[in-house]
Chain A
């Protein structure tokens, strides 16, 4: 528990704004009711990840989990709030420190087909970044690529090949090798096994577990698959429409979910050991983030909704040691 968290988010928000074009601005001047459309993809998120921890970030499509992952990885700038890596924001660092900090956080993407340049050979995909950043010199680059490929279970003999010559699972390994080649401390995995077949998914998950202990990595593991998250994570964070609704140690959260959304989500997972169960689904759809419900975002679908939930958004509060939940029910008791 001690020490500064490796990654700390404070009040991070991300807004995507669709600006009005000239015609719409003109119409607005004439009194037509057109407004800029704003999507609050991430809305005031606080999150700390400690060294060596695996944090699972769970939510359904449109909840902002990928956006949050990209903010952490430094691919997207946040609109508000700050991201601290080892206690400092990027703005507080010198230029050389900033580059080193950016390298320390890497990302592995969902789609192993879209995230690799089809016109580059594996040796270049894996070897380009470490060479550019001076982690290896030209003479050592080849051996370094071999070593990195071996680390993720790829035969270095294939390094002259192009991505299309590999299967889905092997491509995901290439994506992992590319991320590891710059020797990161922190890896954001965004749905990194979602596109893979079950037996291949198991191979990649095993690789994640092995690399974690071998290289002392810290993961932010983003997934919609609760089984995968439970298996891998120490701590789990549940998001719904841009906000964190619940957070806690994986086992405690899965055994005794607190937030009604978490309860519903866990209730829906089909499991191998539940047979012929009758599904009792949560009502309604995920609302559009363009026009989220007032108060608690989950209230239109919540079975325990009260008058207060429609007006006031519940704060994320500690409900037990290490566990937080954003629900008015916790105060009512």
Chain B
């Protein structure tokens, strides 16, 4: 097996707030290989975005990575100096955010922002950088890229803006892209276009991709592997087919049941009772047990450890056995 582009081992990112310690990411492990797409799925507050931010070195106080390793091409990037992180971030690892209006500077032309990103990492002249920026815009399907370089972000539609954000992420041909809900704010037909571009790019450039989303259906058609997060932990992990066709964790099964297209029309959806507990006040043992139909006393006693190697589940009463 070749070395994974990114290997996250027992990552713990905690936030030290006045109200107590919030374990936003608690013992998370996964890896992505070259040219593969990993779907990181979870609901709000599950820790999926903080996981992405931890990889990017973007966790701000009161948050801190308190444990574990993030191996990027074999090198641990946790605790690197800010200068070293800057060499990697935006260059070897890039991020695409949910809201492109938030990531683009509204008072700078697209060209300025793109050229800046190129020249921060490579010693080349302005014109070469501009040409590279133009090619990147063309690559993500923006019509007449030469003229669009001189436009400001507000002159683009939402879908086009997200394409610009993707183009910026691609500028330095990164080895890894972390995409945090990049299509959530977009319309269905525009989402289709973005997914098409992303898929093409992952195939052509062999970039490893982490796709963070709450939408199982998007991941189903895009990803190779899925990690399902709940209350700061990965509760289930496996290939798309394994996780979606034979979910082992009751939470995963509940999530799949909640998607309307899987249920007979007009009948009640399979629902997960209750809401995700506050990370400040997690129940003892398994964090999901209060919403779980299979929970018993054993679940309250201790938090379940992950079972299995590549395919993994954190449950002592899994729906299917995981080897």
Contacts and interface: CB of A to CB of B under 8 A. Distances in A.
Nearest to B45: A197
Interface of B: 43-44, 157-160, 187-193, 195-196, 199, 214-218, 220-222, 224, 240-241, 244, 254-263, 265-273, 275
A167 B193 CA distance: 33
B271 A268 contact: no
A321 B268 CA distance: 29
Contacts of B157: 285-286
A272 B187 contact: no
Interface residues of A, number: 47
A278 interface: yes
A120 interface: no
A187 to B, nearest CB: 17
Given A198-B43, A272-B262, A279 B214 contact: no
Contacts of B240: 275-276
A272 B258 contact: no
20 contacts: A60-B189, A197-B43, A198-B215, A199-B272, A205-B269, A209-B266, A230-B260, A231-B261, A231-B263, A231-B269, A272-B261, A273-B262, A275-B221, A275-B241, A276-B224, A280-B196, A281-B196, A282-B189, A285-B160, A286-B190
B292 to A, nearest CB: 12
Interface of A: 60-61, 167-170, 197-203, 205-206, 209-210, 224-228, 230-232, 250-251, 264-265, 267-282, 285-286
Contacts of B272: 199, 202-203
A227 B259 contact: yes
Contacts of A265: 188-189
A22 to B, nearest CB: 26
A271 B159 contact: no
Among A206, A265, A273, A281, max chain B CB count under 10 A is at A281
The 3 closest A-B pairs by CB, nearest first: A231-B260, A202-B258, A268-B192
Contacts of B218: 270
Given A60-B188, A60-B189, A271-B217, A200 B275 contact: yes
Given A169-B275, A276-B240, A280-B196, A206 B268 contact: yes
Nearest to A261: B189
B187 A61 contact: yes
Contacts of A201: 258
Nearest to A198: B258
Contacts of B273: 203
B10 to A, nearest CB: 27
Contacts of A274: 220-221
B31 to A, nearest CB: 20
B55 to A, nearest CB: 23
